[in-house]
């Protein structure tokens, strides 16, 4: 299978394959959204089919829910599950403290709700997602449609007083029209280049009327699984203070796309 994948896809695949090893029979698992999380959902579906693993998944978007059902994962809502054992998701950036920027896929509101309703959050990533300081990736904020321009203006005014390198706020579009989230809101991407104090920025952004949630995940992620194009994975556990490396063997694995 490795010959069919690019190095970046191999990295995502081995990270996903390692991350789903955290899942145990009977668990309630939050399922992230995005291209890397999709690998995880497929790998988890492979375990369900091959091992008879019994789990319940709580998706963070409609597209993740559709994929989970396709690969045989039982799906429920967070309200039905009430609390989760584990959430596995991707990230757009992570720093040495495992603070994250998420929301490139437009689902950070549901992703943050699900992650904070979990005993543990494990993030899967490729090496390009690691940064010394957050901010190179645009920070998404979800905003309600009513008074959108006023909200955007307040955010820009706020950013002028923050320790960031840039303060450009851009309404996200798809197909020439404003992007709409699963909750019926819009997203404004903040091009900041550098965020000196993510914790402070997260707090003040959520005080702006009209801002529903921002894409900074602070003190939420417990571990990051980093995949490499040669099949290696690194596991950084912030609680245990460990940084381990191993190799994932998958040449004889079943094709995880066979039933999709």
Instruction: Report the catalytic residues.
Output: 111
Contact 19, 122 (CB under 8 A): yes
Residue 151 is assigned to a ligand binding site:
no
Residue 95 is assigned to a ligand binding site:
no
- CA dist 206 and 146 (Å) reads 16
Helices and strands in the chain: count of H runs, count of E runs: 7, 17
Tokens matching residue 62:
């409609």
Residue 30 is assigned to a ligand binding site:
no
Residue 104 is assigned to a ligand binding site:
yes
Residue 215 is assigned to a ligand binding site:
no
Residue 76 is assigned to a ligand binding site:
no
- CA dist 41 and 100 (Å) reads 20
- CA dist 222 and 112 (Å) reads 14
Residue 103 is assigned to a ligand binding site:
yes
- 17: which residues sit within 8 A by CB, 6+ positions away? 43, 248, 250, 253
Residue 116 is assigned to a ligand binding site:
no
- CA dist 146 and 216 (Å) reads 23
Residue 92 is assigned to a ligand binding site:
yes
Residue 90 is assigned to a ligand binding site:
yes
Residue 106 is assigned to a ligand binding site:
no
CA distances from 202 to 101, 157, 217 (A): 11, 15, 8
Annotated binding-site ranges for substrate: 33-36, 89-92, 102-105, 129
Annotated binding-site ranges: 33-36, 89-92, 102-105, 129
């Amino acid at each position: 299978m490795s010959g069919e994948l690019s190095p970046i896809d191999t990295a995502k695949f081995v990270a996903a394959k390692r991350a789903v090893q955290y899942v145990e029979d009977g668990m309630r698992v939050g399922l992230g959204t995005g291209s890397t999380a999709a690998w995880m959902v497929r790998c988890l579906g492979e375990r369900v089919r091959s091992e008879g693993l019994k789990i319940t998944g709580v998706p963070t978007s409609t597209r993740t829910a559709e994929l989970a059902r396709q690969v045989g994962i039982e799906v429920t809502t967070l309200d039905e599950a009430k609390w989760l054992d584990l959430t596995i998701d991707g990230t757009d950036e992570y720093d040495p403290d495992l603070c994250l920027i998420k929301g490139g896929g437009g689902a950070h509101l549901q992703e943050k709700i699900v992650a904070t309703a979990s005993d543990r959050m494990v993030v899967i990533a490729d090496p390009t997602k690691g940064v010394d300081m957050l901010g190179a990736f645009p920070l998404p904020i979800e905003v309600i449609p009513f008074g959108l321009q006023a909200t955007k203006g307040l955010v820009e005014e706020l950013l002028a007083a923050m320790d960031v390198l840039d303060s450009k706020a851009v309404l996200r579009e798809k197909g020439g029209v404003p992007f709409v989230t699963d909750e019926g809101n819009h997203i404004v991407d903040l091009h900041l280049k550098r965020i000196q104090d993510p914790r402070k920025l997260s707090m003040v952004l959520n005080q702006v009327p009209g801002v529903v949630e921002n894409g900074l995940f602070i003190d939420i992620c417990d571990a990051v699984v980093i995949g490499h194009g040669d099949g290696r994975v690194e596991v950084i556990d912030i609680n245990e203070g460990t940084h381990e490396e191993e190799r994932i063997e998958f040449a004889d694995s079943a094709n995880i796309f066979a039933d999709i």
